[in-house]
Amino acid sequence: QTAKNMGAVVRLFDVRAAVKEQAQSLGAEFLEVDFKEQGEGTGGYAKEMSAEWHAAANAMLLRQMSEVDIVITTALIPGKPAPKLVDAQMVAALKPGSVTVDLAASAGGNVATTVKDELIFTDNGVACIGYTDMNSRLASTSSSLYANNQLKWILSAGPTTTKIKGEFAIDEEDIAVRGMMVVQQGELKWPWQPPPPPPPPPKPEPKIEPVLTEEDHKAQYMAAARQSTIGALALLGVGLVSPNAAFSSMCSTLALSGVIGYQVVWGVTPALHSPLMAVTNAISGMTAIGGMYTMGGGLAPSSLPEVLGLTATTISAINITGGFLVTKKMLDLFKRPSDPPEFYEYYGLPAAAFVGGYSVSTLMGFTEATSLACTASALGCIGGIAGLSTQATARMGAVCGMSGVSFGIAATIGSLDWPAATYVQLAAALGGGGAAGYAIAQRVDPTSLPQTVAAFHSLVGLAAVFAAGADYLEHAAHHPELLD
């Protein structure tokens, strides 16, 4: 309350649901974890939470760290070391000059960087206070707080219970009062067994599905058949108005991609939506292929379409490398110390073997190998998006996406017939763009990952515009008859 009166924005976090109402009554914002688990223990203390809850809490707290200036922790569990709520990565996300005050330092501390009875400064300029004698260092404040607590307790135990002046009545239903009682009118009241923690909320009543009659089932099938009929007639209508084979082909591609995209994205876990956006954004870097087909001029472009093609390819390379690295950083936020070791780098062997085999096949004159490489690229990209549906397959999905993009670029290079100098230009575009994307993604802190995904998404949109403009100008200059 004092901090809020002084103009501070106060945010509070606790595992006990009852604290939410108390925090809001004082004007604080209560932070909630997107994971349902009761945190109440005996005696008003919190209980130890599950590993799944801690993973969700860590992700939420990490997002908060870049926005706050002072972090005060007080979490204690009777008979056990204090839980680690603020890890080193969260401290690293704090702004220089921020302060952590660990009031649980005597029991091991809630902050990973806390050193008992010391004040230390981290490499990023955060002051970490781990004093265990705060009451001695703040004697006046401690005395005032203690006196206020005693006064509130005495008033709740006696005069304010009945609201009758001069009448003293002890409320034994109040656990704070009952826990302090030793003797009352000669009767021993100690030791006292506190009541058990409140039971979990009752499960909702199961919904009773209505019993469907034969007519109900018939109506469902009729509705589905009606919709299918409308869809079939719509497809026939598109065929009737289609001006040429290219239009029909594009309609088929649009329909298939829409159905496949819906099927692979529909089952994605909500917690993985941000990594999904990152990996789909990286796959969108396939706009590099459009740019590659309009490149030319040897070591340097010699016309406006070639300049636009080179720019689109470079920007797409930034998006591909940076996008997949951001995806990895996002997935690392969900990784727990208890997870088994991972060796996904070994999947680079089959990917390299495929690209190498394709290159040899192309050089030997097997032209149809390019079509199969394109198919492998499409399957890899679709598998990359589908893999992001669950935490168990998310990293494998990222590997599939990287493989699919690699196959697509290799297939494009294999279908080109350039002079050697133009391949040098392409290597510079892909290498330079990839290095820039790697540098950008490496510098991004965890709290800025979603904004970085949005920035990369803008880049791939710009690359698509450049590639489309280059293709139009190229056709206008050399094949105007192909333009409608």
Tokens 């099927």 identify what position?
A: 263
Tokens 């290498």 identify what position?
A: 431
Which among 73, 80, 121, 120 is positioned nearest to 101, based on CA atoms? Answer: 73
Is residue 71 within 8 A of residue 101, CB to CB? The reply is yes
- Distance, in Å, from the CA atom of 249 to the CA atom of 100, rounded to the nearest integer, reads 61
Q: Which residues make Cβ contacts (< 8 Å) with residue 431, sequence separation at least 6? A: 317
Cβ atoms within 10 Å of 281's Cβ, excluding its own: 25
DSSP letter assigned to residue 121: E
- State residue 162's pLDDT score: 55
- State residue 318's pLDDT score: 93
- Distance, in Å, from the CA atom of 412 to the CA atom of 370, rounded to the nearest integer, reads 8
- State residue 193's pLDDT score: 85
Burial pattern 400-415, b for ≥16 Cβ within 10 A else e, equals bbbbbbbbbbbbbbbb
DSSP letter assigned to residue 114: -
Q: How far is CA 165 from the centre of its chain?
A: 58
Is residue 16 within 8 A of residue 30, CB to CB? The reply is no
First to last CA, the chain: 69
Which among 132, 122, 82 is positioned nearest to 99, based on CA atoms? Answer: 122
- Distance, in Å, from the CA atom of 452 to the CA atom of 441, rounded to the nearest integer, reads 8
Q: Is 242 exposed, middle or buried (0-12, 13-18, 19+ CB in 10 A)?
A: middle
Handedness of CA 206, 212, 216, 221 (dihedral sign): positive
Question: Which two structure tokens, joined as six digits, stand for 478?
Answer: 């050399």
Q: How far is CA 410 from the centre of its chain?
A: 31
- State residue 310's pLDDT score: 93
- State residue 44's pLDDT score: 47
- State residue 321's pLDDT score: 92
Question: Which two structure tokens, joined as six digits, stand for 328?
Answer: 């990895």
- State residue 483's pLDDT score: 67
Please spell the DSSP secondary structure of 252-306, one letter per residue. Answer: HHHHHHHHHHHHHHHT--GGGHHHHHHHHHHHGGGHHHHHHHT--STTS--SHHH
- State residue 192's pLDDT score: 86
Please spell the DSSP secondary structure of 376-419, one letter per residue. Answer: HHHHHHHHHHHHTTSHHHHHHHHHHHHHHHHHHHHHHHHH----
- Alpha-carbon separation of residue 343 from 92, 347, 350, 354, 376 (angstroms): 27, 8, 14, 19, 23
Q: Is 267 exposed, middle or buried (0-12, 13-18, 19+ CB in 10 A)?
A: exposed
Task: Please report, in tens digits, the pLDDT of each residue of the chain (484 residues total).
Answer: 778 777 788 999 887 777 888 888 888 888 888 777 665 554 445 556 777 777 888 888 888 998 899 999 988 877 888 888 899 999 999 999 999 999 999 999 999 999 999 999 999 999 999 999 887 888 888 888 889 888 877 777 765 555 566 666 777 777 778 888 899 889 998 888 888 877 777 888 888 888 888 888 898 889 989 998 998 888 888 888 888 888 888 888 888 888 887 877 777 777 777 788 888 888 888 899 999 999 988 899 989 999 999 999 999 999 999 999 998 888 887 777 777 888 888 888 999 999 999 999 888 888 888 888 888 998 888 888 888 888 788 888 889 999 999 999 999 998 888 899 999 999 999 999 999 999 998 888 877 778 888 888 888 889 999 999 998 888 888 777 766 6
- State residue 120's pLDDT score: 94
